[in-house]
């Protein structure tokens, strides 16, 4: 795993990125939880720490994890669909680069046999981890899956999704307490 992580972190396939390649991920063979997101944002790229922003604060709150637990690679893996900041478009960050997932994802996942929960965040992660979900609303998939499935769909924790959260109070009232309990059980000791 360490050799593979070193290869990923040295990747320069996407040399044309606006801030250059700087793969951000967190993984270990013992991780029990996988956070499968989109791609690092500009701020996290500059800091060199995944989810070290407002979205990350909300995600940690949703999961009931403090910073040390969240950044404990032996328990929590963070593998976005694209490991580098893709740049900014008209309505926010650009999609993850298409080269990244096919190049690295299967190899990394094969090195993490202990994953018991995959938190699927965003459309690109849904299309990879739940290919039958293509085109279906996150709300429908999240409600159908519940909190006991291996893959669990979450809305992106970005403040841009405040409207979605306000329209879907069931998520915070019903899903988050069960999610926190499951995460606590998987990260204990």
Domain extent for 133:
2-187
Q: What is the per-residue pLDDT for 148? A: 78
Rounded percentage of the chain residues whose pLDDT exceeds 70: 98
70-124 pLDDT, tens digit per residue, is: 999 999 999 999 999 999 998 888 999 999 999 999 999 999 999 999 999 988 9
pLDDT at 189 over 80: no
Residue 142: C-alpha distances to residues 95, 121, 139, 150, 184 (Å): 21, 11, 5, 12, 20
d(C-alpha 69, C-alpha 92), whole Å: 29
Check whether 62 has a pLDDT greater than 90. yes
Structural domain total, the chain: 1
**Mean pLDDT over residues 142-157, rounded?**
86
Q: What share of the chain is helix, strand, coil (3-state, %, to 5)?
A: 45, 10, 45
Q: In the prediction, which pLDDT does 141 show?
A: 87
Number of H helices, E strands in the chain: 11, 6
pLDDT of residue 144: 82
For residue 4, what is the DSSP state?
H
| Cβ neighbourhood burial of 84 (10 Å; 0-12, 13-18, 19+) | buried
Nearest to 82 by CA among 143, 128, 6, 24: 24
Q: What is the pLDDT of residues 26-59, one digit of tens each?
A: 999 999 999 999 999 999 999 999 999 999 999 9
Lookup result for tokens 């309990």: 181
CATH number at residue 54: 3.40.470.10
């Amino acid at each position: 795993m360490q050799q593979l992580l070193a290869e990923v972190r040295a990747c320069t396939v996407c040399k044309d990125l606006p801030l250059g390649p700087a793969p951000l991920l967190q993984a270990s063979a013992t991780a029990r939880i996988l956070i499968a997101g989109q791609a690092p944002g500009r701020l996290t790229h500059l800091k060199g720490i995944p989810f070290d922003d407002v979205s990350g604060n909300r995600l940690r709150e949703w999961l009931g994890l403090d910073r040390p637990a969240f950044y404990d690679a032996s328990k929590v893996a963070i593998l976005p669909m694209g490991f580098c900041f893709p740049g900014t478009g008209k309505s926010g960050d650009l999609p993850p680069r298409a080269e990244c997932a096919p190049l690295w994802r299967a190899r990394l996942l094969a090195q993490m046999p202990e994953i018991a929960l995959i938190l699927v965040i965003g459309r690109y992660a849904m299309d990879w981890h739940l290919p039958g979900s293509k085109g279906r609303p996150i709300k429908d998939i999240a409600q159908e899956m519940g909190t006991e499935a291996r893959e669990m769909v979450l809305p992106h924790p970005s403040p841009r999704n405040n409207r979605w959260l306000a329209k879907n109070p069931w998520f915070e009232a019903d899903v988050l307490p069960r999610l926190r309990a499951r995460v606590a059980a998987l990260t204990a000791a």
